[in-house]
Amino acid sequence: MSRQVLLIEDEPNIIEAISFILSRDGWSVKTHSNGADAVDIIRERQPDIVILDVMLPGKSGYDILRELRDDPDHASMPVLMLTARGQTKDREIAEQAGCDAFMTKPFSNADVLETVRALVDK
């Protein structure tokens, strides 16, 4: 059975690119594009890893991540944060919220694949 990725992202081009990269590598990729109910979707789908955009409609990726880290059932779930804003402060906020890895857009396909593999295999 393939491993599951839940990609929470609202930009269609990013969704398409990441879905293609990971599915080609054997991952089962599910997507969601609304921050408001993202935590419920994560709990429902129980993915092996979450790729989480910072700026989402309804609720920020930072707030979603904090909720996951406060939930004992999901506190250790690997989370890769994606953002178009790559300032040091953005990275610090993501790390304080508990992300496992942080990547800025645009990203390299190889970096996404390598990071996802590393986070799930650690």
Instruction: Read off the pLDDT of residues 34-44 as tens digits, 9 standing for 90 and up.
Output: 999 999 999 99
**pLDDT value at position 88?**
86
Angle between helix 109-121 and helix 12-24 axes, rounded to 10 deg: 60
Question: What is 4-23 written as a DSSP string?
Answer: EEEEE---HHHHHHHHHHHH
Domain that holds residue 53: 4-121
Q: How far apart are CA 45 and CA 6, in angstroms?
A: 8
- CATH number assigned to the domain comprising residue 83: 3.40.50.2300
- DSSP 3-state assignment of 51? strand
- DSSP 3-state assignment of 78? coil
8-23 mean pLDDT: 96
In the predicted structure, residue 122 carries a pLDDT above the cut 80: no
- Residue 7 parent element (H or E): strand 4-8
Phi, psi for residue 92 in degrees, rounded to 5: -65, -40
pLDDT band at 1 (very low <50, low <70, confident <90, very high): low
Domains in the chain: how many in total? 1
Global pTM value? 0.95
